[in-house]
Every structure is written in C-alpha cells, then in structure tokens.
Structure 1
Amino acid sequence: MSAPAIKAVLGPTNTGKTHLAIERMCAHSSGAIGFPLRLLAREVYDRVVAIKGEKAVALITGEERIEPKDARYFLCTAEAMPHDGGGHAFVAVDEVQLAADRERGHIFTDRLLNARGREETMLLGSATAAPVIRSLIPHVEMTERPRFSTLTHAGAKKLSRLPKRSAVVGFSSDQVYSIAEMLRRHRGGAAVVMGALSPETRNRQVELFQNGEVDYIVATDAIGMGLNLDVTHVAFASLAKFDGVKRRRLMPAEMAQIAGRAGRHHRDGSFGALIGAGGQDAEFTEEEIYAIEEHRFQPITKLFWREPEPRFDSVGVVIEDLSAGPGERELAPAPEAIDLAVLRKLADQPFARAIRGPANVRRFWEVCSLPDFRASGVDTHARFVTRLWQDLRQGYIGADYVAARIAELDTVRGDIAILQGRIAAIRSWAYICQRPDWVLARDEMAARARAVEARLSDALHMRLTERFVNRRTSVLMKHLGNDPALLPISLEDDGTLLVEDQAIGKLEGFRFSIDPHAAAGDRKMLLSAGEKALPRILAAQAEKLRENGLAGITLDNGRVMWGSQEIARLEHPVDPAEPRLKPARELDRLPDGAREAFVDALTAKVREWLAPLEPLRKLQLASKSEDATSWARALLLNLLDGHGIVTREHAGLENLPKEARPYLRKVGVVFGALDIFAPALLKPAPRIAMKQAGIDSRPIDEAMRSVVPASSPLPAGYRPAGEQLVRVDIAEKLFKQAHEARAKGPAAKGGNEKRGRGAPFMLDTALAVSTGLTPDSIRRLLGAAGFRFVEGKPLAEGAFGPALPDRWRWLPQRAGARAGARAGTGPGARRGDGERRTQGKPRHAKGGAKGKPQGKGRGPKQGANTKPNEPRPENAFAALKDMLS
C-alpha cells in the first residue's frame, strides 16, 4: 500500500490555491483545512456549507464551535486543528510560510510536520517556503502555480488621487482610523477591516465594499491572509510594523502577500505607497518593486518550532519541554509566546506547588494557553488566568457565574474602542465556554456568548459605519458624472430630496436648501447634485400645482406665497385687470416652457383674487379720463392715495367747482359730511383684496362690520367714535339723519337760518343704537360733525308736567378750523369741537353790543302775550338753560 500523497501547492496570491484545496476536500469523504485567521475559516465555511449543507460542515475556532453531529468537513484555525489531522481523508494547511512567524510560527510548523490526511495532504503557501518544505518532507510533491493576473507598481499617490476600489493598508488602529476618517470626508467613506474584529463585523464591513456602497477599504495586514476582495489597487500607508519585539520594515515577501490582494482572477492589479498618511517609510525601493512584480523573494531557511506535546509530569517539566530546542537544522527555537510567559510567571506562585498529577498539570497548561484576546500583556493576562484557575480547581465554573460575566458585557453603549474592548472580553469567555470540561451548561453558555458577540459586532459595525462612511457622499460620488436626467433623485412628501436613500437637502416650495447637518466639505457636492436634478423636480412640482388649481398658494401683502416661501411679487402700481408679477429667482430654475406656463397660471390666479378691486380700477381710469377736470382729477388722486377714503379737509374741496361733482358722483364718489369715499370699496371683498395686494397695509376688519371696538392703528374704512369705531358710510347715514332732523326742527320752520344753527332739535338715535353704537359713542361721533348734545334737565322740585327731552344743536366750526374731531374727543371736550368760543360768558341779545348794557325795550323779541322785558313763564326754564349753556 502506497503512502498518502503530500502535495505542496505554492505560489503568490491570486493563484487559486485555496479554491483548489476546497475542491479537493469536497471530492473526499471527509476533510479538514487549517487557516491562519478565523475570518478566513468562516469565509470558507460559508462556501463549503453552500456545497455540502450545514449538517456536513463544522467550524471550529478558539471562540466558536459549530459542530453538527454528522459533520465530515472541518474548517478550523491552525490552533484549533487536530495535531495529527484527526483521521480525515483530506487535510490541508493554508499559508504554511507562517511557520517562520515569531509569534505563531511553531503552530504552523507542527501542522506542517504532523497534520496528515489518510488519503491526501495539501500544504498551501508562498513559494518562499519551498526549500525548507522539501528539506523537511523529502517525498513531497511540489507544485508552483503562477499568478492569474499581473501586479504592477503604480507609484506613490495622495489619498485624494487613489483610484476607486482601492485598499489602504496600515499597521496600527490609529493609522487605520485616521485614514478612514480622511476617506469619509473626501471620498464618501471606507470599510474598515482589522484582525480584532469579530467575524460578523468583518463580514458586514467587507459587504459594504463588495456591494459598492463604498469604494475604499482600510485594513491592517490581516487583509493579506486570504480575504478575497474586488480590489484593483493596494496602497501602503506604511512599510514598517511592530512585530512584538521591535518596529521593523516589512520583508518583500510580506509586502507581496499584502499587495497581492490587488487584482482578481484575470484582472490586473497595482500597488503603491500612500503619500501624506504619516508613514515616513512608505516608499518602495527599486529592489522591492522588482521582487514584488516578479515574485522573486529570499527563501525561508528556518521555521520556528516548539514541542507540540510536552510531558505533563509537573509544571517544571512542561516548561522544560516547551523551552527545549529542535533536533533539525531547518528548525529554530520559537520565541517565548505569551502562553509560556504566563506559565513561567504563575509557576512561581504558591498555588502552583499544589498542582500535582499529569491531568492537573495538563489542565493548568490549557488554562495558561488561553489567548490574550484583549492584548493586555503578560501581567494583566496572568491575573485573569489565575482567577480562572482558582474557579476551575473545583472542577467546573458555575453557569450562574459565567452568565453573570457574559451579562456584564451585554451592552452596546460606548464608542468604537469600548465596543472593541467588550468584544475582546467576550471572545475570552467564548473561548472558555467552548472547552468541554470547563463550564457547566457549556452549550447554553457558548450560545449566550455568541449572541452577545453578535450584538456587540452589530453595534461596532454601526459605529464604524457612522464614523467612517458618509453614505450620502459615497452615493453622490458614483452619480455626479452621469447625465443629470439619470441622477436617481426623488422627492418625499415632506419635501426631502433623496439620492437613492440618502437625504441631500429639502425643497420648500421652489427653494432648495442643503441638509443643515451636512459637513462643510460636503455642501458643494450636495448643492451640485441638487442643482442637476432641480429643473426636472421643479417642473413636476409646478405642473402638479397647476393641475390642482394652485391650491396652497396665497396672496399676502403683495407677495404670492406658497407656504412660507415667496414665489412672486406684485409690482406697483397694480392694475387689478392686468396685474404685473415679478417671479422669484427660484423660478428661474424651471425650464423655459414650464416657467412661462406656471407664471401665466399665477397671473390668472392673482387676477381672480383682485377682481373685487374693480371699483378702485374705475377710479384709476376716471382720474386719467379726458372728461375729468384738473380739480376733479386732483380729488380722485387724493381719493386713490387714501385707498377709497379721504377726509374733507384733505380732499381739496375748496377748489372743486360744483359743476365737477356730478362727474365724480357718476364714478362712485360720495361727498359726506366729514369724508369723501367710494362706498363700493367699503365692502369686505375689496378691503381684503387691497390688503392682499399690498395696496393698503392698514389693519382691516374682514367682515367690515358697521361698528367695531376702538383699536390702534385705525383700521381702514373706519372713523373714531369714543371707545368705538364706525364705518364711514354708516357714519354718513347718521350725519344725514341728524341734518334731516335739524331741517324739520323749530328753527327751520321759523326760517331764520342763522338762528337755526344753534337751535335745539330732537333726534331719534334708534338707527345709531341699532348699529351697535353706545350713547357716548353717538355723542362723540355727532360731535365730530358739529352736533352738540343738550341733555334734558329734570323738573324742579314741586313742578308738574313732562320733563324736557334730550336735544341737539348744530354748532359747526368756523371757517378755517379743523373739521371733525380726533379719536376720543367730542362736543365740549375741546374748544372748536362744536362749542362757541364764548363758552363760560353770558350770551347777549341780538343787536346788543358785546360787554355793553342794552337799552330799555331792547331785550329779546317777545311773544304776543308777553309783556315787554318779561320772559314768558313757560319759556323761563328754557331761557335759563340756554343762557347757562
């Protein structure tokens, strides 16, 4: 029977080695592959599950174990892989050149030497490992595979000049974050991949890049270990890293391992340095460029080795075996790893002397081998291991204790660093829960730990995306160079303008405003995107408004408003029949045809709103008519200035010939006692229209009630009457009634016009009261027109007969005095408001000289039955009252 085949498939990246191993494993009845990263193990696990189904495939890493009962294919990390291959028909070890790594090399060396399949063994890695593999395994079948595509040096580039689908590699979390932040500001963002991320976070970050949501990915050198990405260019932010001992420059083979991520299958890739990222050593030498492009590297001559199966007679024996040197010249002693450093440190503790027997020693070594996921260092990690060992000395860790520790970490609050720390801590507990003999209710606790890690990973992905991905900028970067008609911009019901699902601003009416939360550097791009699509969006808005009859558009103080936005303005003077509109500049973004149609619709709507102003237009036309005299034209202009109302004292009546009045009455002008006005303009519709058009900015009573409470400033169409205001046409009716009552009084019958001015007369105030005027307001209003209220005195004590009624006198102001009383004034309140200037002095008989006694028989005219110089008894009280007044 021939020995199982051992094949070494070597070559640079992008040669299909991993794909070949998957195909070969699936062709066997069972198999196992060991990978350098659990991220890669998880990726291949998903691929094999798609081929063989979940029940046939297992995933085993330090923190995660998915092991169906009937699993036949195992995807593992190198550390979790069985030492001897586990008896599988096929066994493969990926990236075997890592056997020369100072920290983990001894693990890969052991798998290279001891992991074997029953039928086939495959070693995958770089061609640099060929000599040492051939030396250690003489009968190996060596196959070198060429790279599918060409890898060329593209020179150093600034971050702003990086081509799309680029990967930027840094060697510290601070450098990765700073580069990702710069890419977010300038290029829309980047995905972030680091070895410390959980598989869920890593996969979701990679998905951002693979789906095209971002065009850049920033990663540590973990990207070089088999992550298959659609990368066309790899940019090195630095060419040096800290290897656990010192900071050193990468070897050309290490550079090639990372640069080889560029290019997929037969698509060529490129690599280069990144300028301005803080890496002073990020410049390739000519020798390094040649080595990377031609895949020619110095071969590996030594592999690190450590005893894979130490004796467990005592703790000291374990340390001795792990510190022993190898027997082959191709192998070198492995540098002290953290597990051995922790074992040495704890071996000096008092409790270590109590560890007896191979089983306890083995168990103690397994506890010391707990990975330092938190990268806390030997001292801190040793304290954690000590507490773990104290809990395990009794046999198992209680489920309640483990559940409490897991629950402490189950919170998604905090920033990226805090969440990474929690994920590292939960990875420690996930590792502990995977051990079959460490935790009670192992499966339940392991499931809880995985669930918490998944939640923390989701939260970390969100934080990374929020911080390093500007989805809006990323989307715009993809579309801004396209035809504006193809830009995927949509308008939400609330006016939000979206590009795909990212808000770029808001449309209020026809005004576009950039999202106020946008960064200053993004505003120019957002404005450019909005302006490209605005003509199409605004044309649709205008068409929709026209179809809905311009619903929601109003006229306010000469401004055509849509909501809170002014979209046009009335130009003055306003002709109600042909209003002139000045569209707002926001309408200039409308296409020409759409703009003209919309402005025409607005003009028609404004003409409809201003239709009640036809009486005003009639006055305008009359003022320009050839039939109007210059004096009539002057009065009409005064009337227009007063928006349909002007007081007599400001109307210029003293120069208006009487023959001009018929023409003015014909066009709707009324000459009142105190005001000249156009009654048609005192109705609600014209007053509202004047307010809307901005013709009259005074406040109005929209119902134009006859009487309203006094207010300041004075509303249009009203005049003051004490604590009330009365519409001027209603006031004119009351004045007319008062004059008619005066004309019918005793003075008019006597025919003495001069005496009739001050003669008392009776006035029925029922009409005034019916309008809502109070008695005080009636007296003040009539007082403004020269009517003085004379209160009827009660009968004297002991007198009989009816009391004297309230009466009125008409005492107009003298020529040149001010006509009409101001608001809040009335008869007797001021001199000149219906009072004679001889107030407080005795009246003299007609014909008598002022201040001189009258002669005998020169008294007031006597009645027929009255003696000379003796007043009639029935008129005695009236005479006395008249004199005192």
Structure 2
Amino acid sequence: MILSGRGVTAVLGPTNTGKTHYAIERMVAHGSGVIGLPLRLLAREVYTRVVEKVGPQHVALVTGEEKITPHGARFSVCTVEAMPRETKAAFVAIDEIQLAGDLERGHIFTDRLLHLRGREETLLLGAGTMRSILEKLLPGITIVERPRLSTLYYAGQKKITRLPQRSAIVAFSADEVYAIAELIRRQRGGAAVVLGALSPRTRNAQVGLYQSGDVEYLVATDAIGMGLNLDVDHVAFAQDRKFDGYQFRNLNPGELGQIAGRAGRHLRDGTFGVTGQVQPFDDELVERIETHQFDPVKVLQWRSKAVDYSSLRALRTSLDAAPTIAGLTRALPATDSQALDYLSRYPEIIDMATTPERVEKLWEACALPDYRRITPAQHADLISTIFSDLVRHGTVNENFMAEQVRRADQTDGEIDTLSARIAQIRTWTYVSNRPGWLAHPTHWQEKTREIEDRLSDALHERLTKRFVDRRTSVLMKRLRENAMLEAEISVNGDVFVEGHHVGQLAGFRFTPISGAEGPDAKAVQTAAQKALALEFEARAARLYACGNSDLAVGSDGFVRWLGEPVAKLSGSDHIMHPRLILLSDEQLTGNARDHVAARLERFVNHHIATVLKPLDDLSRAEDLQGIAKGIAFQLVENLGVLFRRDVAEEVKSLDQDGRASMRRYGIRFGAYHVFMPALLKPAPAELITLLWALKNDGLDKAGYGDLIPALAAGRTSVVTDPTFERTFYKLAGFRFLGKRAVRVDILERLADLIRPLLQWKPGTTPRPEGAYDGRRFTTTTAMLSILGATPDDMEEILKGLGYRAEAVKAEEAQAYLAAQAPASTGTAEATETVATDDADSASEEAGEAATTATEEATPVAEAAEAPAAATPAEGEGTEEPKPVLLWRPGGGRSEQQRGPRPQQGDRRGQNNRQPGNAATEGRNENRRRDDRQDQEQRGRDGGRPNRGGDRRNEGGRGDRPERGERHDRGGDRHERNKPQQAQRFEAKPPRKEKPIDPDSPFAKLAALKEQMKK
C-alpha cells in the first residue's frame, strides 16, 4: 500500500541549492524529527551540525555500524537503511531520493519515500529528474524547485599536472585513485583520498586534510557526489566508465552532473572538465550539465514489503513478487537476497529454519553488509555461522567473535592490509550493534569501535604518508597565509624551512631536493630563497674577509671557497687573465655581489701570479736584450716550453752573456727543448694546461677535465690519446711521441744517456753499456727506467725523436762485441787519457741508473752481450733469438744534434786550425766556463739525482745536450781523431805511472800482452 502524497513536499534541484541545509532548519523547528541520508559519512556531518544547534543530549546518530542514542533524544540522524519502518516523529526527511533508481540500493529508498511519513511534515530531497515519477506515484505531492546558487562552467581537457588548485579528480577504481594521488604528490605536493571503501573516520580525516588547506587536491570516487560539502572549485573526470556491480558502463549525464555539481560552493562559481586520458565532452553533454537538464527517472527499484516468514520457500516467493503499480520495477537480487539463495541450499540451515521466528531471524542475519567484498558463498558461510549461534545459543558465540576481532586488531601493514582489516572489523561492529545478537553488546560496541578508530587513524596516516608531501603542503599553507618562514642551515649546507628539508645550499647556489617539480616547486624555492636572503649576505661578508687558504682553483676551472664552488673561469683575450663567472642565485645582489666578485678576481690573479711566478717574472724582465729578449718573449707566449728546432738560429746566435742572463730566470737550453723546469712541477703544469684549455674551449671537450690532473701528477710519461691536441701535452710539459708522451726534462736526461754512446770510439775507452760502434747504440736499463716505458714504448719514443733503427741478428751483434772486447779493455792509463769530463759524467749517470733499475725493463743490449746459450740437443725445439735494434741518428743527425751547428765550410776551417791557435783556445775556454755555469745553475734549480726513478733536474745535467752540441760543432770531435789533436795531448806533462797491483786483472792482462808480442 502506497501512502498519499498529501502533506509531502519534494524539494528538488541540482547540487549546491541548499536542500540539506533547508531540511536541517525545518527539522529543528519541530519538536521531533528523523532525517535519512545516503552515506554514513554524510550522516556524521549532519549529526554534528544538528548537535551544534540543539545540543548532543537531544540528537541520536543511528547507522548500521554506529549508534549514539541519548536518553530522550528528540532528533535522529540516520542512514536510509537504518531509518525506522514506522515513526511518530513530527518531521521526516529523506535526502538524495534519486537513488531510488539505483540497482543495488534503490529499493530501500523507494520503500522509505513511499511508506515513511512525519506527523506534521515530510520532505523529500533530490534531483529535478524525480519530479515526474513523484507526481505519478504520490498524487497531491507539493513540488518545490530550487535553483543552483552558483554557475557551473565547462573548462575542457587538461593534464592532471596542470589542474588548478582546489580541484577534485574523480576516478572509479582504487588502483586508479592511488595512481593519480601518487602523481599529484610528486608534481604538486600531495592530495587527499576519498574512497567508498574507506571507513567514515578515515574519510573524514582525509576530507579534513583537504578542507584545512594542507593539500590542494582531492582524488575520489563518485562518493563525493553524494552530498559531501567540499570547497571544490574544479572537478576533473579521470574516468567516465565505472563498474556498477554487474557490468562496466559509461556514466549517464545525470551521474556526471551530480559529480560535476560538487564544483562551486555557495555563491562561488565552479568548473568541470576531463583529464588527458578522457575524451573531451561533446557540446550537447556540456550544455546539459551546465543547464542541469537530464533525462527524468522513469522507474524506481522496488521490492515487496509484505514478507512471508512462514517458510524459506514462502520467504523467497514473497521477495520475488512483482510490483502492481506502474513506475515501479522489481529490484535485482541484492546482497541479502543472494545470501538467502545460498543459505536455502544448506542442509543444516534447512533443518534449523523451521519456524516463522527462525525464518525471520535468518532474513535478519542476511542483512549483514558485505564490507569485505568477498564472494557470495564466503559471505553466506559467515551468515550461516552467526545464524547457527543465534538459533542454538540465542547469541553469537563470543569466543568466535573475540578471535575474529583479535585478528583485525593490528595497525601494522600498508594501505591495502589496513583497508582489509577495517572491512573485517566493520562487520563485527555491525554485529555488535544488532539488538539481541550479543550477550554483552555494550562491551563489544566499545571494543570494535575502538579498534576501528585505531585502524582508521593508521590508514589515514599511511595515506597521508604515501600521497602527501608534508614539507610542500606546510609551506604552501604558510605561503597562503603570508607568514614569515623560519629557515635553518646545517653545517653541511642542508636547508630546513619550518623544520622541513627543502634543499642544499652550496656556496651561493640553492638546489631544491629531488622530486620537487611543477608550479609548487617554484613556490617552495621562493619561500626558501626569501628565508635565505640574510644567509647570502652573511656568506658574502665571510668570503670577502677570508684568507687565500680558504680559496682554491680546481683543474675543472671552478673556484671553490671552503670546498664549495662559487665561481667558474672562462676564456678571455689574454690567456693569463681568464674571465670570472660567479655561480650564485639572483638573491646575491648589490654590494654583496660586488664584494664577492672583487675578492675572487683578486685571488685568481694572485694565484696565477704566484704559481706561474717564473713565467710572470720573465714577461717583465728588463735586463734581457736583443736575441735573449726575443727568445724570452716566445717562451712566454708558449707558456714556458719551446721546441729547440723552432729557435735554433736564435740560440746559435746567442752569446754567453745572453745565455747567462736567461739562465738567471730559470731557462734551460736542452737538446730538444728550451724550457723552464720550474713550470714542470704539478701545480704550474696543471694551471698552465687549465688556462690553455679555457682559452681554447678545451674544458668543453670530452676527457680534457680528466686529463689535466693526470698530466700534472708528476708522471714521467703517459699513454697518449690521439684525439687530444698535441699542444695540450706540450703545455703540460710533455712531448707527444706516438703512443706515449714524455716529460721534456726526462727527454733531456735521455739525451744525456745517448750522447756518450754516440761519442764513444771503439778501441779508446771501455765500452759504455748500450754503445755499439760509435755510430749506433742499443737501449739500456737506465733509459727504460727514467721513461717508465717498455721496450716497445722505447722504440716508439726514439722514432719520434728522429732516430733510425737497424735490426742486427743477435749472433752477429754478439760476435762483433766479442771482437771489440780486447781493445775495449785497455789499460787504466789509456782510459784516463782519452775520457773527457762529459763522458765520465754521462757514464757515471748511466751506471747509477742501471744499478737501481727494475728487472722487468731489460735492455736489448743485454741480449746481444749475453753469452751464447748452450747448443740444444738434436731434435729439440729451438727459439730463434730476437734481432737486436741498433739506433743511429736519422738522416745523419738526431734531433739532439739539430741545434745550432756550423756549416760544412766552417768545419773545414776549424780542421785547418792549429792546436795552439789563440781563438780556438779562447772558444774552448768559453765552452768550459759555460759548462760550469750550467752545472751551477742546475744545482741552484734544486736538481738532484734520483737513482732509478723520476729525476727531473738530475744534478743539473739536463743542459748537457747543449754542451754535447757545442762539442759537435764541427771541430772538437773531429780534431780529437786527427794527428794534430794527438800532438796536443802529447804536449802536456807526462802522467806519473802508478804501480800496478800484481794480483789485479790489469797486471795479468799486461803480462799476457807481453807474451803475445814475443
């Protein structure tokens, strides 16, 4: 039977028309009242508002899971399912009546609006689509339509990351909601999450997070379309399809309009749109949503109220009854009817449900909501257990219930785990609130409520931790309040604003922490920079007053203050004066910036002048004149290293005074280079290569930044990279020689070792190690040791220096050396007579190097000098000895001999001069004086032999190639081999013969010679 519509008022209209507010005002105007709401969450909100008006002692809250029933309460706020079937209250209101068309819950709304009335006033609240069906079913009903208080506009399609603040993004699955919330957290700082599966307490906490402004975005399902009052300015649809419990389908315009209508609050207009994953709405749909014109509801879901409890069959038959009134349609099987179908097939249930009371109790048990979203069979098993306890014991077994509650009472785990536990405890909360089901209902109501609240709080915490960046959200809120932010900076540069780590301060640059992106990141950075303004000024003052020890120039071109980069060097017109680029944020301005720039420029200039002082002194030398001044200018232009061949004519024309004046500035004239040894040290070499790289954009080339410290690390030779410019190696003090680059002072030491080998004459003095026939030589242990090279590397280096290799069989070399042995081992007197000072020095140096060389670097000469191996037995495998490489100057002269040499005519002229010629003797005396000056200068340079290792300035002998060159100027060496040269030696006073020890090898050798003469 349907009650008349007389005395019933339907207040219809779109969202944001104030319908719920109107109903509350009307209810408290009566002496008693009942209001039914579609959601427990909304019921909680309305309950709070009514309590504020009339006091908590007059208001009851009744839902399936919660009951607050003060004695003598005059007003009841309920969910629609929990509304009484009959009431004597003066006022009754039912909200969101358009849900009567819902396939799952619609029959409950239909039953209440058809059969529940207030004594004095009844209000039905809902959408305008209900008007026609209400006028048809409830004749005499009064229809009141209320217009929307604000306007709704379509904003089109936007990416999620570009949505405006105070937006709600709507999706229809938990996975999609979580994915969107995670994206917003990374891009915009965080979002609140509202799902229908969340407990009311968790949803309230999430909504409160959004309403308080801690986050600017809300990600929700269509639950927000059911009367939640939110400060939403824009609603964005991330999906337009949903699963309605039976199938996936597109949302109809009415459902879209219900959700979109949440945008706008009171008199503030709102907008709606779609995200990038949804096709833009067509014009017709947009117009219908904006004007709230939707298809009217034509039928309501209905289920018979006349339930027959006489038997299980009768109960099922009565529930399947069809409506007899047009406009109503039989509802699809709901959760309770599905459970009844399963239970009707259980033999134990059939045996127990034998009386109307037990059948009614079974139907009451079937009303247990499926909060866990499990299968109908599993849900039916739980109902069967509860029903069995109710029939056999009168109440649910509390031991069984205690075990189920205990399993749910755990707050660890992630979001899904906590959600499952909340669903489980809500089931037992419902059981504890059913009248007559428990022996001690109050205890279990308190127990389950406590556990649900604790789990809800834990779930809210997990959601907030996962989907909200507290640092950003707090800063955003403070910025909107225009509050002064408090910043702290730790000793290691970590920046904290309002206690949250926001980034790192290095020097004068602030770097936000990773993951802060999007428009909100700019706001966070702005807040940090505003709070860091004073720190920038303080740092500028400290840097301006700091000492040079706190500043450094790195091989990467950065200027660092206390280890933090504050500037970068760049190329300029003058290589010795690079341009300085400050590395600072815009907040370093005015005098503070000028002071920092001035201090750093002063330091860089001082650093270059100090480290490159020899070069700086040479550039400002005023005592150099003529050719010396020209060579010095070229040396400065080439940053301390010149190839000897490039200035050969100038060096040849340079007199002894000019040489001496240049040596005072630390210049050495080597066989291959004219260079400044002081600039070969690691610090000057690194700075020179850096300045050149800056001038030539070298630091931007791959690998240059790593190569600079490697070249400047004090190594004698390095493996070369053909992709790098050879000039780069030269400025670092290295000579590019094929696969290896060798430091120039080491090459000069190599020249010292090679010179006596080429000056030696067979039959005159003992053969030095590595000498062969006076025209050719082999590599020695000393050579390999000072170069740090292998024999293969040595071959490459000698070829790069202009030497030519000749391969000789090991047997032939051995035979030749054996034939030279008698002549080479002359008397000690002959050795002392022929040897020159230079030869003695070079031989001693090579001997010292050989004694400390590593066994791995075995010279090739040893293979030639080794005694012949024993002849292998016949049939045994023999390995052919490796050929011996004999080196001679290429093209008649090696590079160490390409210096200033007299022309062929000059040699002839020198050969014709007599030993007693005054000019010749004068030149010889000048050469000897020049040699002594070279040795003294090298001693002042700090040269010292480093046996077997890195000997940069060994004993000052790096200049010996020059002396060797002077001895090889066409007269001296040739004159020694001519008769007149011998006469000059005979003219000297005879040397006193020393007594020979009869036990010495020399005495035995002399006796052997005497016997051979006889």
Give the TM-score range, shorter chain.
0.5 to 0.7
Q: Tell whether the 8 Å contact from 1:198 to 1:457 is kept in structure 2 after alignment.
A: no
Q: Tell whether the 8 Å contact from 1:38 to 1:77 is kept in structure 2 after alignment.
A: yes
Q: What's the offset of the Cα at 1:10?
A: 0.7
Sort the Cα spacing of 1:665 and 1:403 in 2 relative to 1 into closer, same or farther, 3 A: same
CA distance in 1, matches of 2:632, 2:276: 81
Q: Tell whether the 8 Å contact from 1:100 to 1:304 is kept in structure 2 after alignment.
A: no
Structure 2 unpaired stretches of 5+: 693-707, 716-740, 751-781, 787-831, 838-847, 853-926, 936-943, 962-978, 980-988, 1007-1014
1:545 correspondence with 2:545: no
Q: Amino acid of the residue matched to residue 600 of structure 1?
A: A
Q: What's the offset of the Cα at 1:633?
A: 7.1
Q: What's the offset of the Cα at 1:35?
A: 0.7
1:6-36 deviation per Cα after TM superposition (whole angstroms, max 9, x unaligned) = 5524121322121122234445565432211
Sort the Cα spacing of 1:446 and 1:410 in 2 relative to 1 into closer, same or farther, 3 A: closer
Sort the Cα spacing of 1:692 and 1:591 in 2 relative to 1 into closer, same or farther, 3 A: same
Q: Tell whether the 8 Å contact from 1:339 to 1:369 is kept in structure 2 after alignment.
A: yes
Please give the residue correspondences for 1:108-123 in structure 2 after superposition, counting only pairs within 5 Å: 108-116=109-117, 121-123=122-124
Please give the residue correspondences for 1:152-163 in structure 2 after superposition, counting only pairs within 5 Å: 154=154, 157=157, 159=159
SS at match of 1:154: strand
Q: What's the offset of the Cα at 1:454?
A: 0.5
Q: Tell whether the 8 Å contact from 2:494 to 2:505 is kept in structure 1 after alignment.
A: yes
CA distance in 2, matches of 1:250, 1:684: 75
1:342 correspondence with 2:339: yes
Matched with 1:405 is 404
Q: Tell whether the 8 Å contact from 2:33 to 2:76 is kept in structure 1 after alignment.
A: yes
CA distance in 2, matches of 1:205, 1:158: 25
Q: Amino acid of the residue matched to residue 146 of structure 2?
A: P
CA distance in 1, matches of 2:327, 2:362: 31
Q: Tell whether the 8 Å contact from 1:620 to 1:640 is kept in structure 2 after alignment.
A: no
Matched with 2:889 is none
SS at match of 1:402: helix
Matched with 1:434 is 433
Sort the Cα spacing of 1:106 and 1:664 in 2 relative to 1 into closer, same or farther, 3 A: closer
CA distance in 1, matches of 2:384, 2:199: 26
Please give the residue correspondences for 1:232-271 in structure 2 after superposition, counting only pairs within 5 Å: 232-234=233-235, 243-244=244-245, 253-269=254-270
Q: Amino acid of the residue matched to residue 432 of structure 1?
A: V
CA distance in 1, matches of 2:680, 2:155: 84
1:561 to 559, 562, 565: 559
Q: Structure 1-normalised TM-score? A: 0.64
Q: What's the offset of the Cα at 1:589?
A: 9.8
CA distance in 1, matches of 2:426, 2:335: 17
Q: Tell whether the 8 Å contact from 2:128 to 2:145 is kept in structure 1 after alignment.
A: no
Sort the Cα spacing of 1:573 and 1:155 in 2 relative to 1 into closer, same or farther, 3 A: closer
Sort the Cα spacing of 1:314 and 1:536 in 2 relative to 1 into closer, same or farther, 3 A: closer
Q: Amino acid of the residue matched to residue 10 of structure 1?
A: V
Q: Tell whether the 8 Å contact from 1:569 to 1:583 is kept in structure 2 after alignment.
A: yes
SS at match of 2:77: strand
Q: Amino acid of the residue matched to residue 35 of structure 2?
A: I
Q: Tell whether the 8 Å contact from 2:566 to 2:583 is kept in structure 1 after alignment.
A: no
Q: Tell whether the 8 Å contact from 2:340 to 2:366 is kept in structure 1 after alignment.
A: yes
Sort the Cα spacing of 1:628 and 1:880 in 2 relative to 1 into closer, same or farther, 3 A: same
Please give the residue correspondences for 1:454-853 in structure 2 after superposition, counting only pairs within 5 Å: 454-455=456-457, 457-458=459-460, 461-462=463-464, 465=467, 493=490, 508-509=506-507, 517=515, 543-549=537-543, 553-557=551-555, 559-562=557-560, 563=563, 565=565, 567-569=567-569, 580-583=578-581, 596-607=594-605, 609=607, 616=614, 619-621=617-619, 623=621, 625=622, 627-628=624-625, 630-631=627-628, 634=631, 657=655, 659=657, 698=712, 823-824=947-948
Q: Amino acid of the residue matched to residue 618 of structure 2?
A: Q
Q: What's the offset of the Cα at 1:342?
A: 1.4
Q: Amino acid of the residue matched to residue 113 of structure 2?
A: L
Q: What's the offset of the Cα at 1:37?
A: 0.9
1:79 correspondence with 2:81: yes
Sort the Cα spacing of 1:306 and 1:155 in 2 relative to 1 into closer, same or farther, 3 A: farther
Query: Which stretch shifts more, 220-229 or 533-542?
Result: 533-542
CA distance in 1, matches of 2:150, 2:216: 21
Matched with 1:98 is 99
CA distance in 2, matches of 1:659, 1:128: 114
Q: Amino acid of the residue matched to residue 232 of structure 2?
A: V
Q: What's the offset of the Cα at 1:339?
A: 0.7
SS at match of 2:84: coil
CA distance in 1, matches of 2:994, 2:169: 124
Sort the Cα spacing of 1:410 and 1:183 in 2 relative to 1 into closer, same or farther, 3 A: same
1:350-409 deviation per Cα after TM superposition (whole angstroms, max 9, x unaligned) = 112223555544432222111122333433322332234345544444555434434444
Please give the residue correspondences for 1:167-186 in structure 2 after superposition, counting only pairs within 5 Å: 167=168, 169-171=170-172
Sort the Cα spacing of 1:212 and 1:861 in 2 relative to 1 into closer, same or farther, 3 A: closer
Matched with 1:307 is 305
CA distance in 1, matches of 2:1001, 2:258: 129
CA distance in 2, matches of 1:101, 1:862: 132
Q: Tell whether the 8 Å contact from 2:20 to 2:125 is kept in structure 1 after alignment.
A: yes
CA distance in 2, matches of 1:686, 1:168: 63
Matched with 1:739 is none
1:370 to 368, 371, 380: 368
Please give the residue correspondences for 1:101-250 in structure 2 after superposition, counting only pairs within 5 Å: 101-116=102-117, 121-129=122-130, 142=142, 144-151=144-151, 154=154, 157=157, 159=159, 165-167=166-168, 169-171=170-172, 191-207=192-208, 209-211=210-212, 217-234=218-235, 243-244=244-245
CA distance in 1, matches of 2:74, 2:744: 94
Matched with 1:771 is none
Q: Amino acid of the residue matched to residue 261 of structure 1?
A: R
Structure 1 unpaired stretches of 5+: 702-711, 726-752, 759-775, 781-811, 834-848, 850-859, 864-870
CA distance in 2, matches of 1:595, 1:460: 46
Query: By percentage of residues, which structure has more helix?
Result: 2
Q: Amino acid of the residue matched to residue 553 of structure 2?
A: L
- Determine what percentage of the aligned residue pairs are the same residue: 34
Q: What's the offset of the Cα at 1:40?
A: 1.0
SS at match of 2:82: coil
Matched with 1:707 is none
Matched with 2:699 is none
SS at match of 1:554: strand
Q: What's the offset of the Cα at 1:62?
A: 1.9
Q: What's the offset of the Cα at 1:442?
A: 0.9
SS at match of 2:264: coil
Q: What's the offset of the Cα at 1:238?
A: 6.8
Q: Tell whether the 8 Å contact from 1:558 to 1:570 is kept in structure 2 after alignment.
A: no
Q: What's the offset of the Cα at 1:108?
A: 2.5
SS at match of 1:149: coil
CA distance in 1, matches of 2:651, 2:147: 107
Matched with 1:733 is none
Matched with 1:796 is none
Q: What's the offset of the Cα at 1:508?
A: 4.2
CA distance in 2, matches of 1:713, 1:517: 49
Sort the Cα spacing of 1:613 and 1:98 in 2 relative to 1 into closer, same or farther, 3 A: closer
Q: What's the offset of the Cα at 1:77?
A: 1.0
Matched with 1:743 is none
Matched with 1:856 is none
Matched with 2:34 is 32
Q: Count residues with an aligned counterpart.
A: 753
Q: Tell whether the 8 Å contact from 1:618 to 1:667 is kept in structure 2 after alignment.
A: no
1:801-836 deviation per Cα after TM superposition (whole angstroms, max 9, x unaligned) = xxxxxxxxxxx9999999897733999xxxx99xxx
SS at match of 2:228: coil
Sort the Cα spacing of 1:9 and 1:329 in 2 relative to 1 into closer, same or farther, 3 A: closer
CA distance in 1, matches of 2:242, 2:629: 99
CA distance in 1, matches of 2:411, 2:383: 26
CA distance in 2, matches of 1:236, 1:699: 64
